[in-house]
Amino acid sequence: MISVLTLTYKRHHLLEEAIESFLRQKTSYPKEMVVINDNKHVDYVFDHPEVKIINHKERFPSISAKLRWGFEQCKYDHVYRLDDDDLLAPTGLQLACDDIVNNPDYDVYRAAGFYFFVNNNFERIVSSINNGNIYARKYINRIKWPHSSIGEDAEITFHQGASIYESKSGIPTMVYRWGMNTFHLSGGGDRPSELALQQADESFNRIGGNVKGTVELKPRFKHDYYQTIKTPNVITTPTDRLTEIANSLGTDKGTSAFCKHSYTVTYNELFESLVPQHVRMLEIGVADPRFPGASTKMWRQYFPSLTFVGYDINPEATKFAQEGVSIFIGDQNKPADLQRCIQEHGSDWDIIIDDGSHYGEHVITTFREFYKHLKPNGYYIVEDMHAVFMHATETIREIQRILEEEGHEFSNFYQEHGGKLLIIKK
């Protein structure tokens, strides 16, 4: 019925908990867990009839390549993607399989959200790109695979015409864990960046991930996750003006979209005093096809007098230009593009928001070029730190180093929404 596919690289202490969550699944449906390890220096071993561990001795060139190969190793017609630092929820597979049986012939099945844990503490139920996504074999066979380790989950889920069934149960099938003091370099290829390798080594050394030889896995929970989520927090829906605008447009920055982050609650508090003024705002990442142009429209409605520049790598973003809104096409990881944007659109920004690739190296490159063009008392914000593809701890450390070594002033440096939102006030 269902295969659980888990990619792993040098994080066996987290992998053991992921396997434990699989072993605890009580379901009448046939199941298996397939673990793909491409760290050639270690062999993971665990003897269980429903758990298959493949120790692949050649590093995959990308997450996409590893995922594609992993799908091929699964024997069932529906494949649940579970990263090695996440867990199946207590009744996850039973709920997922019930949805598949009762709603046949969809390409992708997913829950409406996941249990979001920060540093092993349950925070709330939220939604994102992967809510425990399950891919049907008929769809897997026609995926046009990207050659990347960045955003491949969004690409194969939302950008290739899949028919998607979102569960009506309201109960998550997955536990998403953020702040695990390491990051995932699996699929980084033979030549990841020097910075990524350096920070990977630091991260893995902290957790003992550089072991070699044979490691016998001992699945177990180090924390009682399931007991914690029996009584989830009750979340009230804020009704501030910015959130109302966001919800009417369907952007994930609000509180009602399927991928809701509720950032607008914080933004309304930060920016409300700016509303009567003329505001200069620069946002990286405005062409997400799930919420096309919604963020741009939201800011245009919120600020009566606004100069807005949307920076995006996708040429399709130009269709969101309107009065007071300009679109700049460029790569946020190329200093020349970032500098050209400043040359064309000027400096002295009141607000800069990075909602771009969510790749740590790109976040750092953009910060280094753009922060110096922020006004005093302006806000520089990085969204979705939980999704940063070079662990958030290392990314934040590098941003702090830039502030210190390049002599930049700032009055506040803090995180909100369980660490998902990084806010720097100049």
Domain assignment of residue 9, given as a range: 2-228
Alpha helix locations (H) across 41-148?
63-73, 92-102, 137-140
Do residues 110 and 133 make contact, with C-beta atoms less than 8 angstroms apart?
Answer: yes
Whether 235 maps to a domain, the answer reads no
Nearest to 172 by CA among 124, 231, 131: 131
Nearest to 267 by CA among 257, 259, 275, 258: 275
Residues 188 and 254 in one domain: no
CA distances from 140 to 54, 70, 262 (A): 20, 11, 32
Q: What is the CATH number of the domain that holds 282?
A: 3.40.50.150
3-class secondary structure, 281: strand
Of the residues 228, 250, 280, which one is the last residue of a structural domain? Answer: 228
- Its pTM stands at 0.63
Neighbours of 403 (CB within 10 A): 17
The structural domain count of the chain equals 2
Residues 184 and 285 in one domain: no
Do residues 365 and 332 make contact, with C-beta atoms less than 8 angstroms apart?
Answer: yes
Residues 253 and 203 in one domain: no
What pLDDT was estimated at residue 99? 96
Residues 213 and 257 in one domain: no
Residuewise pLDDT in 10s, the chain (426 residues): 999 999 998 888 899 999 999 999 999 899 999 999 998 889 999 999 999 999 999 988 888 899 999 999 999 999 999 999 899 999 999 999 999 999 999 999 999 889 888 777 887 787 778 899 999 999 999 999 988 766 788 889 988 999 999 999 889 999 988 766 555 545 444 444 555 555 555 555 555 556 789 999 999 998 888 888 865 544 444 568 999 998 888 888 888 755 567 899 899 999 999 999 999 999 999 987 677 788 899 999 999 999 999 999 999 899 999 888 999 999 999 999 999 999 999 999 999 999 998 888 999 999 999 999 999 999 999 998 876 655 677 888 899 999 998 889 898 998 887 778 899 999
Of the residues 174, 196, 228, which one is the last residue of a structural domain? Answer: 228
Main-chain phi, psi angles of 326, to 5 degrees: -110, 150
Residues 292 and 175 in one domain: no
Do residues 17 and 113 make contact, with C-beta atoms less than 8 angstroms apart?
Answer: no
Residues 221 and 305 in one domain: no
Q: What is the CATH number of the domain that holds 181?
A: 3.90.550.10
Alpha helix locations (H) across 40-131?
63-73, 92-102
Whether 236 maps to a domain, the answer reads no
Residues 67 and 146 in one domain: yes
Sign of CA dihedral 246, 249, 328, 382: positive
What pLDDT was estimated at residue 250? 81
Whether 174 maps to a domain, the answer reads yes
Residues 272 and 212 in one domain: no
Whether 137 maps to a domain, the answer reads yes
The letter for the amino acid at 160 is Q
Whether 233 maps to a domain, the answer reads no
Residues 201 and 273 in one domain: no
Of the residues 228, 261, 276, which one is the last residue of a structural domain? Answer: 228
Whether 74 maps to a domain, the answer reads yes
What pLDDT was estimated at residue 187? 47
Nearest to 295 by CA among 346, 340, 351: 351
Residues 181 and 313 in one domain: no
Token pair, residue 174, equals 């997955």
232-235: Cβ within 8 A, 24+ apart: 232/115, 232/122, 232/124, 232/125, 233/122, 233/123, 233/124, 235/124, 235/125
Whether 48 maps to a domain, the answer reads yes
Strand order in the sheet with 325-329: 325-329, 305-312, 278-284, 349-354, 374-382, 421-425, 412-416
Residues 186 and 245 in one domain: no
Token pair, residue 239, equals 């009704």
Residues 160 and 255 in one domain: no
The letter for the amino acid at 116 is F
Whether 234 maps to a domain, the answer reads no
